[in-house]
Amino acid sequence: MDIEFEDKVTDKLLSIKRLLIEKNKAYGNSALNPAKVFSKLDSIESILIRIDDKLKRIQNKGLDANTEDTIQDLVGYLVLLMIARDERNNSKELIREGQDLPQTSDGSIDEDQGGEFCETYWRTA
């Protein structure tokens, strides 16, 4: 095993972890649970837009010391995308297993927990 490589990977991943936790504290869980004030997109689509924005910035400005934060943000959004996809897949599993679906306080299906798929499923089932 290359311990130096493992240490470098661990350091970078811990840095991304700290960044995500810091931003979550500052902005709330807005990536995985969007406020939907203006946009009605679900969490996955919202994250994909943020990823597009970061890639466009790299395309326009290139990769250098001034865009290092953009790379970190991009990796963070990719992690959030993985989490959002896991949550959506977990909601799909609940449907297959016949379990209760995540709901909001008004009793509607929580779209940020796979609700779009769930509502479509229930309308067509």
Q: What are phi and psi for residue 38, nearest 5 degrees? A: -105, -45
Segment 79-94 shows an average pLDDT of 86
Locus of tokens 């909601």: 91
Q: Which residue has the higher pLDDT, 111 or 72?
A: 72
> What pLDDT, on a 0 to 100 scale, did the predictor assign at position 125?
33
56: how many CB neighbours lie within 10 A of its CB?
11
Contacts of 24 (CB under 8 A, 6+ apart): 31
Token couple for 110: 């929580």
Q: Using 50, 70 and 90 to split pLDDT, how confident is the model at 118? A: very low
Q: Where are the domains of the chain?
A: 3-124
Q: Using 50, 70 and 90 to split pLDDT, how confident is the model at 88? A: confident
**Predicted structure pTM score:** 0.71
